[in-house]
Structure formats: C-alpha cells, structure tokens
Amino acid sequence: MPASLTGRRRAGTLPLGLAAAVAVAVLTLVPLGFVVVASASAEPAAALALLFRARVGELLVNTVGLVLATTTACAVVGTTAAWVVVRTTVPGRPVWIGLLAAPLAVPAFVNSYAWVSMTSAVEGFAGAVLVTTLSYFPFVALPVAATLRGLDPVHEETARALGLGPVAAVRRAVLPALRPAVLGGSLLVGLHLLAEFGALQMLRFPTFTTAIYDAYESTFAGPAATLLAAVLVLLCLVLLAGELRLAGRLRLARVGAGAARPRPPRPAGRATPLALLGLATLVVLALGVPLAALGRWLAEGSSTAFPVAELGLATLTSLGLAAAGAAVTTVLALPIAWVAVRHPGRIGRLVERSSWVGSSLPGIVVALALVTVTVRALPVIYQTTALLLVGYAILFLPRAMVAIRAALAQVPPELDDVARSLGVRPAGVMARVTLPLVARGVGAGSALVFLAVVTELTATLLLAPIGTDTLATEFWGRADAVAYGAAAPYAALMVLISAPAAWLLTRRGVPGGPA
Amino acid sequence: MSAVTPAGLSVAGISKSFGPVGVLHDVHLEVAPGSLTAVLGRSGCGKTTLLRIVAGFVAPDAGTVALDGRPVVDLPPERRRVGYVSQEGSLFPHLTVAGNVGFGLPRRQRRARHRVDELLELVGLDAGFADRYPHQLSGGQQQRVALARALAPGPRLVLLDEPFAALDAELRESTRRAVAAALDHAGTTAVLVTHDQGEALSMAGQVAVLSEGRVVQAAPPEELYRRPADADVAAFVGDAVLLPATVRAGRAESVLGALPVAGHPDAGPTTVLVRPEQIVLEPVVDGGAPGEVVARVVDATFYGHDATVRLHVRPGSGEHPPPGPLVARTPGHAAPAVGTDVRLTVQGSVTPTGPRPGDP
C-alpha cells in the first residue's frame, strides 16, 4: 500500500496517539535539553576556566584515544571472527557463533573487575583497550555475521565471472556490502565507550564519564560536572551524526537479503588450526577469564561469608526494578512505535528519531540531568523509584520500541479498516486487534529492557533512592572497595540473569543502533 | 439476513487528491438498493480510493456519499454500516474463523454459535471450519470467511475491493460463484471493484468504468459491451476491432462491407466497433465471388476453446481499408491455417464510437 494511502487516516485515532508519542519524545529530550541550557547559562569566564585546563585536555586525549583504539580493534576482531565462523569450514561453527555472542552476558564492569582482580597490569590505556574490546567486539561480530549469512553470493560470483581473482572479488564485491554492518557496529561500540563508567573506573583509566562521576561525588551537580557532560554530549553527537548518515545505507544493504541463496563455506584447509587457535584465544580472553575469576572469587569468598539475606534482597530489588522498568519503558514505547509505523510523515520520523537521542547519551549524563532538573523543578520525585524508572525508560526506550515497531509493521493497516467497518470504535480496534497482534513484540521488547536494567550501573548509582540496593550497585560498592570476594556472588547472579539476553541478541541483532 | 433493508448508494461530485496528485475528479455513481455494481478500471485509476471513501477510511476533498439519501461523509467507518472485503481478505490472524465472523457482532451473539454457522453456510463453508485459523485456509476460503464477516453485522452495503485478484484462476471462478450466490441470498447492496472485465461483466448488474479518476460510463454489462461510450471503453471491456467507416442510410460502409448500425447514428464519417467474435470466417470457394470480403490469414493464435486470427483484407473489397490487420475470433476447432484465404461476414450490428479518433 503506498504511503499516500496509509498516511491518510480520518480524524479520531491520530491526535491522541500522536500527542502521547510527542510527549514521550519530549521526555527523552530532557537530558539533552538540560545539557544545552545549563552550558548556555553557565558563567562564561568560569566555564572557560573549567574547560580549558590540563585535566580536561588529558580526559579528551584519554577518551578519544580509547574510542579510536577500541572501535578499531573491535572492527578488526569482530569482522575477522565473524568471517571465520560464517564463511569457512572451521569445525563447530554453530557453537562458535553462540560463543561470539556470549561475552554480552558479562557486563563490561564485571569483565574489568575480573581482569583487575587477577592482575593490576591491566590498569591504564592498554588494559582499558584490551578489556573494552573483549566486552564490546560482539557488537561488530554479530551484525557482520548476520550480513554475511544473508549476503547473496551472486555478487561475488559475478565479480569472479568478470575476471577478478578470489581476493579481489572479496575486496571489491563483499567488503563494501559489509561496510554498513562494520561501521554500524563500530559506532555502537563508540557510543558505549563514551558511556562506559564502571569498567574504566575499575581500570583507573579516567575519561569524561568517570570524571563527571567524580565531580558529581565531590560537588554534586555543580558546573564542573555539567560542563564535562556538555563536552561528552558533543562527542556523542559526532558519533550520532555518523550513525544518521549511515542509517539510509544500512537499509539499502538489507534489501532482498531474505531470498538469498546460502553460500557454501570456504574450506579452511591448512588454516584450520590457526583459525581454531584464534577463536579459542578470543573466547578464553573474553569469556574464560571473567568466568574463571568469578569462580575463583566465589570459592574464596564463600569460605568467609555468604550473605544470603543481602544477596536475596538485592536480587529481588534488581528483578523488581527491572520488571517495573520494562513495563514503564514498554508503555512509553508503544505510542512511538505506533506513530513510526502508521504515520510515517515528517512528524512521525522526528518523533522516532528523537526517541533515540536520550538512549544515545551516556547514563551518567541522563542521570545528572534528571537529578538536576528534579531538584530544581520537581523535588517531590527526586530520590524516588519513579525517577529511577524514568531514567531507565529514557536509556532503554529504543530496545522496546524497535521490537514493537517490527511487530507492528507486520500488522496490515487494512485490519484496522476492516475492524472499523464492522462497527468497532478505535479504542476497541486497539484492544481487540492491534494489541493481541503485537503481543509477541511487546514481550520481546520488555525482555530486552528487563535484562538491560539488571546490569545497569551508572544511572542506578545516581538515581536510586537511598536504601535501594541492586545487584549492580551492591557489586560496585564491594568491588570498588577491593572486596573482590564479597563482590563475586553479585556479579555471578548478574551474569546468570543476563545470559538469556545474549541468547536473544544472537537471534534479534544488536540493540541500541537505529535498525 | 433479511432483517436488514439494503440501502441505495449515491456518490455525487467526489474529488480527491493525494498531495499534488489528483486521484478522483467529480465522480458520480448511483447504485440501486439490493443490486451489485462493479467499478471497473485499470490499476491506478482511483477505484480503490473511491471504495475507501465510501467505506469512510478516506475523507474526500469534495462531494457527498449518501446511503438511502442520507449523507454519511461525516460519519466514521464504524457508524456507517458498510461492510468491507479487501483484496487479501484481511482476516484477523489471531482469531479463529468463528472469531473473525463474529467480530462485528454484539458480545452475546458472538458466544452463541448458530449465527456464525449460519453465515458460514451462507458463503458455502462447512461449520467445521469455525475453529480453524486463517493460515489453515486456502485463499478462496479466506475470502469467503471475509465476506461472511462483512455480512455478519447486517450491513446496508458491502464493498469488495478486488476480492478475487489474489486467487489463482481455478479458485477464482468457484469463489466468484460462491460470493455472488451469498450476496444474492443476503440481498445486500454491493459494490465490487475490479480490473478484470470478465469478472465485472459476469457478476454485476451495472458496470461503471472508471478511467483516470472519472466515471466514463455506467451501464448494464451488455449495453457496455455492445455500445461503449467511446473507443477507449470499447477496447477496455473487450477485444475491439475499430474500423473507419461512413454512415449512409443507417448502414456503415467499411472495409467489411455495408454493416447494420445499432441506434440512429448521424450520417457521415465515423469509427465503428466490431467485436472479433462477430466476424465469421468461412472457406473461400474459387477465389471468392464478387462483393464478398476476402482476407488472407497472416497469423493465428490457438487458445484451445477458441483462436485469434489476424487477417489482411484483400485490397479492393469495401471502403476505408484499415492500415493494419484485422482480428477475428473463431472457435478453436475451426481455426483456419496461416496463409489461406477466408471469406469474412459480420454477424449482428456494429456500433459507432464517435468521429474518427487518432488511431482506430
């Protein structure tokens, strides 16, 4: 059905749904708006003094250096690993694909805890690059593997038929097709690095995010924290601009992927041992080390004390917050997904796009903004669970929205028309047709949000009411105090709860990037 | 079903544009209560938009839609009592056949199964289908369920948007018959949108030809086929041989001789419509007698039940020799061989389609 026929609904359903979607979009823009307003209203001389000092220069070098080094490493490692697993006859390929996604079950701050608890050699730049690469390379490997699997071999065959050798054919016909997946994944890694707090704090590698946290700890939401947040947001916007430019091409790259003929894998031959060794090393470093460290500290920690009551309480708190966060986020995502699918005009696009902005900002910035805005304008909800849930919703809205949008796109708008011609009013159509049909998408989306909330650390540290302790914050309190053994049970529980997320991701692609 | 009195539909002066693209221009259409009207047009002519305006899914820029004389343009679709069957049937995939058919019924009647069974029977489906899901049905069965669902709340008018287009040929015919019978039995007024001439001509009591957003002719099928308003309509509703001719004394002088003309045309130059099946081919004896129209078979396409034959009329016979070959249709068993000569006669009368257009 052409857009002209779908974008034409009679008055009735549109204003309410659109108003809700716009309201949600405005909510997600609060953090960005706060940063802009706060930096604009800062006292210029003081602002300049705060920004142009050696400390900020050092943070800039650290942050940019880390982003460049780790995204490059992730692109190379992720693409190579995906290539070997999808395109060659290396033994055990289905198992390897699962193992490439498995590191996502280990939160980056748990991974760095594992490394730093084994050796202090990982502190500093090199260690930060190593640990973050091991945590984030699946963001590149998974989309590249998916693209490689969906790639129609006809392009490579045509290139060969046109006289190119095997290497040249790959370079000129296959690699360009992989570019959107590699770049998209790398941008996602970049955004995560800008937001990463726990892992880098633990490795004693200061970036803007850790510096904002320290400034917040010492001077609350003072100008120092705000101005650093402004610089961080600028860095995010640079990456986001790249992502927006990529979005159009990403879509092109997926056209017709569904009907592609499977391509016979290339015999690995004599390179098999080398490929196996490489994959094994990667998995041991990314998955084996953190699991071994956890096992060791669990064994050592449990010999001293195993605080069942505290563990149980933190688990319940985490699960409860995750369930509530998932519910709130999903409810807020519904109108956005609805508008994105059913009213794809300029307003629809704008609303959908803006819902990504909040989630692309680091958790520390979102939390800082919510703290400052509520303390000044709405002190009633400062230090409440409600505010924490709002923070989760802003951070994880796209995960729910993408899943619901995909389900909604499968529902032909004719069904609404038919239902109304049968005498059912718009609200009834929503309850009896639309919601039952998108139920599965709603379920998948809320599961993704649920699992993201369980391992959320930064925003929870700032926004959780006093006395609300989650697995992540309890872990953080102990690990930060070098009580490695006491931290281990909390980390193990988080990994256990996150494992289904990793499994979901191998099937649904990576969340967080505009899909 | 007889509790509902079917409504007459009257569409007047409907215009609609999507952005800069004008889709409908001042469309008028009258549909008698209880009748079936087909809206026939090529894809993109605006026929689906017209249907969606009548259903209430799209608001027109101008014009009125009235049911039994009462305007409904300002009513939302759920208050018009107009049933709608889409091209793919659009069954609700999460509901069984019974759930679909009962969707528009009040809650109490939804529970009581007999109404659903009654409607299934009406569209020629066994009550055993009630518990199946749409994906377990064939395309034809889905369309029958869609019709049963549309008829369930007792609509005053049912709209069918190319309901058979997605079906393969064999299924299309049987589904058509079942739908026609169900509509007839229900006695509802119906408007069927289609691009298939055979479908429109065989099912409808009135066919409205829509071209470039305008109704160019609305007439009973036979009249439309025999006496199309212009050459375009003539060629659209069936294969047409358009011959230059001169009308003299009620007969059209053409390359096929002096042919009887339908109606009372003005004398003078014109173009006449001859349907290929009106041209009868007979073997020529001894090179043909004087006054006979003789043609050579240049090409024949065999379809089984019939054959299409392209003919070059021998120079010298009749007036206004056409520039290209003529097309005739013969029964398949009587198709002449390529290269042979045949004698042409025309059965029935021909229809003038206005002054000579650019190309016949």
- The answer to whether the Cβ–Cβ distance between B18 and A5 falls below 8 Å is yes
Interface of A with B in 4-33 (CB under 8 A): 4-5, 8-10, 12
Which residues of A fall within a CB distance of 8 Å from B58?
5, 8, 10
For every residue of A66-79, DSSP letters joined together read HHHHHHHHHHHHHH
Which residues in chain B are contacts of A425 at CB distance < 8 A? 76, 78
Write the single-letter amino acid at B175.
T
- The beta-carbon neighbor of B84 closest among A5, A417, A432 is A417
Asked if residue A429 has pLDDT above 50, the reply is yes
**Average pLDDT value for residue range A129-145:** 93
With vertex at residue A18, the alpha carbon angle to CA A13 and CA A21, rounded to the nearest 5 degrees, is 135
- Please name the member of A414, A421, A437 whose beta carbon is closest to the beta carbon of B83: A421
Contact yes or no for B156/B70 (Cβ under 8 A): no
Instruction: Nearest by CB to A8, from B58, B82, B152: name it.
Output: B58
Element (H, E) at B117: helix B114-122
- For residue A58, is pLDDT > 60? yes
User: DSSP letters along B206-270, please?
Assistant: EEEEEETTEEEEEE-HHHHHHS-SSHHHHHHHS--EEEEEEEETTEEEETTEEEEBSS-PPSEEE
- All residues of chain A having their beta carbon less than 8 Å from the beta carbon of residue B150 are 418, 421-422
Q: Using CB atoms, which residue from B19, B80, B90 is nearest to A415?
A: B90
Task: State mean pLDDT over A438-445.
Answer: 87
Residue type, A427: A
Cα–Cα–Cα angle for A82, A136, A187, rounded to 5 degrees:
90
Check residue A178 and give its pLDDT: 86
Q: Do A421 and B93 touch (CB under 8 A)?
A: no
Answer whether residue A243 shows pLDDT above 60.
yes
Identify the three-state secondary structure at position A164: coil
**Tokens standing for A292?**
């071994």
Q: Rounded distance, CA A291 to CA A285, Å?
A: 10
Tokens 């708190």 — which residue? Answer: A317
**Tokens 């108003």 sit at which residue?**
A19
Q: Select from A4, A10, A412 the Cβ nearest to the Cβ of B90.
A: A412
User: Taking 60 as the threshold, does the pLDDT of residue A317 lie above it?
Assistant: yes
- A420 to chain B: closest CA residue: B78
Cα of A330 to nearest chain B Cα, Å: 21
- The alpha-carbon gap from B206 to the nearest alpha carbon of chain A, in Å, equals 24
- Contact (CB<8Å) A421/B150: yes
Cβ neighbours of residue A3 closer than 8 Å, sequence gap 6 or more: A344
pLDDT band at A4 (very low <50, low <70, confident <90, very high): very low
How far apart CA B193 and CA B196 sit, in angstroms, is: 9
d(CA B33, CA A151): 57
> Using 50, 70 and 90 to split pLDDT, how confident is the model at A410?
confident
Secondary structure (DSSP) of A30-43:
HHHHHHHHHHHTS-
A432 contacts B56? CB cut-off 8 A: no
Q: Which residues of chain B have pLDDT under 70?
A: 1-4, 287-288, 317, 354-360
Rounded CA gap, A184 and A509, in Å?
A: 12
User: How many angstroms separate the CA atoms of B66 and B349, rounded?
Assistant: 39
pLDDT band for A123, please (50, 70, 90 cuts).
very high
Report the range of poorest mean pLDDT among A270-284, A350-364, A410-424, A454-468: A350-364
Residue A320: the pLDDT is 96
Q: Provide the β-strand partners of residue B296.
A: B312, B341
What is the tens place of the pLDDT at every residue in B165-214?
888 888 888 889 999 999 999 999 999 999 999 999 999 999 999 999 99
Residue-level pLDDT at B146: 94
The verdict on a CB contact (< 8 Å) between B56 and A12 is no
* Residue A399 · residue A511 · CB < 8 Å: yes
Between residues A360 and A389, the one the model is more confident about: A389
Question: What is the model's pLDDT at position B155?
Answer: 93
Mean pLDDT of A474-499: 90
pLDDT value of position B216:
93
pLDDT of amino acid A440: 84
Q: Mind telling me how many Å the CA of A373 is from chain B's nearest CA?
A: 43
CB A202 within 8 A of CB A479: yes
Task: Return d(Cα B149, Cα A422) in angstroms, integer.
Answer: 8
User: Is A423–B88 a contact, with Cβ atoms under 8 angstroms apart?
Assistant: no
- CB under 8 Å to B85, separation ≥6 — which residues? B143, B146, B147, B150, B158, B159, B160, B161, B163
- Would you state the torsion angle of the CA atoms of residues A330, A335, A338, A343, taken in this order, to the nearest 10 degrees? -160
Q: How far is CA A477 from the centre of its chain?
A: 24
- Does the distance separating the beta carbons of B57 and A9 come in below 8 Å? yes
Weakest-pLDDT range from A5-14, A285-294, A487-496: A5-14
CA angle A136, A138, A139 (to 5 degrees): 75
Would the CB atoms of A420 and B88 count as touching at under 8 Å?
A: no
Contact in structure between B338 and B297 (CB atoms under 8 Å): yes
Instruction: Check residues B319 and A119 and name the one with the higher pLDDT.
Output: A119
Question: Which pLDDT belongs to residue B288?
Answer: 65
The distance of A431 to chain B (nearest Cα, Å) reads 12
Computed over every residue of chain A, the mean pLDDT equals 85
What local confidence, expressed as pLDDT, does residue A345 receive? 78
| Record: contact A420-B153, CB cut-off 8 A | no
pLDDT band at A3 (very low <50, low <70, confident <90, very high): very low
In angstroms, what separates the C-alpha of A426 from chain B's closest C-alpha?
Answer: 9
Banded model confidence at residue A515, pLDDT cuts 50, 70, 90: very low
Measure CB to CB from residue A4 to each of B18, B93, B159 and give the nearest one. Answer: B18
Alpha-helix residue ranges (DSSP H) falling in A119-174: 125-136, 138-150, 154-161, 166-169
pLDDT reading at A7 higher than 50: no
pLDDT digits (tens, 9 = 90+) for A257-306: 334 455 667 777 788 889 999 999 999 999 999 999 999 998 887 655 67
**Tokens describing residue B56:** 């209430």
What is the pLDDT, as a whole number, of residue A115? 95
Q: Considering only the beta carbons, identify the residue of A4, A412, A423 that sits closest to B78.
A: A423
Interchain contact A419–B (C-beta under 8 A): yes
pLDDT tens figures, A200-225: 999 999 999 999 999 888 887 678 88
> So what's the pLDDT on residue A14?
56
Q: What number of residues does chain B have? A: 360
* Mode of pairing for the β-strands spanning B251-254 and B241-248: antiparallel
pTM here is 0.77
The partner residue sitting opposite A10, judged by closest CB among B76, B81, B159, is B76
> What pLDDT sits at residue A1?
36
Q: Are strands B36-40 and B62-67 parallel, antiparallel or unpaired?
A: unpaired
Tokens of A472: 């992540």
pLDDT for A258:
39
- Which pairs count as long-range contacts for A317-321, CB under 8 Å and 24+ apart, including other chains? A317/A468, A317/A469, A317/A470, A317/A471, A318/A453, A318/A454, A318/A470, A318/A471, A318/A472, A318/A494, A318/A497, A319/A454, A319/A497, A321/A385, A321/A388, A321/A389, A321/A392, A321/A453, A321/A460, A321/A468, A321/A470
> CA A311 → CA A308, A483, A507, distances in Å?
5, 15, 31
Mutate to test the interface with B, among A14, A346, A418 (most CBs of B within 10 A): A418
On chain A, the residues whose CB falls within 8 A of the CB of B21 are 4
HSE toward the beta carbon, residue A152, CA cutoff 13 A: 12
CB B16 within 8 A of CB B23: yes
- Whose tokens are 């001439």? That residue is B197
Other Cβ atoms closer than 10 A to B267: 10
